[in-house]
Chain A
Amino acid sequence: MENDGKQVCVLLVEDDPGDQKLIKTALMNQGCEINLTIASSGETAMDYLKMSAEDAVRYSRPSLILLDLNMPGMGGKAFLKKIKADEDLCSIPVVVVTTSDSETDIRECYASHAAGYIQKSAVPEEFRDVLKRLTRYWFSVSALIKS
């Protein structure tokens, strides 16, 4: 995508520090400048989004959310439903990145308007390859709403 001077902000909702690191590295290796915010729980992510609605200068509104499903407290599916029911936040595409391969999870996430459902690979090299394809689609081919 051409550099239009605007920044792509990504909110990663993920409780596993190892996966956080892998995803962060994959995002940082992109050609465009990415402002990454990491939330370790659905609740923290909701708090961040509320703060971003009040003060978009300090807390950039994400252009894309990468969401784990299985987290303590508010799970990924509840978070997704909440975002998509919110008039202001529903335009943010949410990609699910999870270890779950349950058909129920896949169906529920697409029914809640996930913009992709990606199963984490246990092999780091394979997971890096998956993230490379994910970032190429979202940051080189698809337009995003930038802040």
Chain B
Amino acid sequence: MDIYKTVVIMLIEDDLGDLKLIRMSLREQRIANTPITATSAEEAINYLMRNKTSEIAPMPDLILLDLNMPGMGGKEFLRRIKSDPDLKTIPVVILTTSDSDKDILESFKLQAAGYIKKPVNITDFQEVMQTLTDYWFTICRHINYEPDRQVSKCSDC
């Protein structure tokens, strides 16, 4: 059984510095992961709509979504994903600089599966990504993914 399946994480982020930081933090994790990157919500929607019935292009096991982006914002993206019968099963976690109560409430109302304020320094960022991947890929079950609770075994991932 392939218990070390690579997980697919879609990053939707317009800030290239943040994108680099997220990718770098994900590389440090104990779980093998392949990030798909979109620098706008439109690009992400196009990818998901185009490939949702395809067996070749990977669909994400988890989406990390920035809120404040030019064009379609994160909340509109979330609204669309969660009303699509094929895409609504993908958990979407908000990763943003905003800590406004309104954004938190609206995001949960739109069925975000977590709301994380971006930490400002690299060490904190890595800790946050560790906790996030621990939760989503060590203990949570996914539709096509069997988690491995014995993460220590996965040190060579």
Contacts and interface: CB of A to CB of B under 8 A. Distances in A.
B117 A143 contact: yes
Nearest to A105: B141
Interface string B80-122: 0010010011110100000101001100110111111100000
A34 B71 CA distance: 39
Interface residues of A, number: 32
Contacts, number: 88
Q: What secondary structure prevails in chain B residues at the interface with A?
A: mixed
Nearest to B129: A141
B139 interface: yes
Nearest to A136: B131
Interface in A100-145: 101, 103, 106-107, 110-111, 113, 115-119, 121, 126, 129-130, 133-134, 136-138, 140-145
Given A141-B128, A141-B132, A134 B82 contact: no
A140 B131 contact: yes
Contacts of B117: 143
Contacts of B134: 133, 136-137
A92 B107 CA distance: 11
Nearest to B149: A126
B141 A143 contact: no
B88 A106 contact: no
A76 to B, nearest CB: 14
Interface in B31-87: 82, 85
Given A111-B89, A121-B149, A126-B149, 8 more contacts: A106-B141, A110-B89, A116-B135, A117-B142, A130-B149, A138-B114, A140-B131, A142-B93
Interface of B: 82, 85, 88-91, 93, 99, 101, 104-105, 108-109, 111-117, 128, 131-132, 134-136, 138-143, 149
Interface of A: 84, 90-93, 101, 103, 106-107, 110-111, 113, 115-119, 121, 126, 129-130, 133-134, 136-138, 140-145
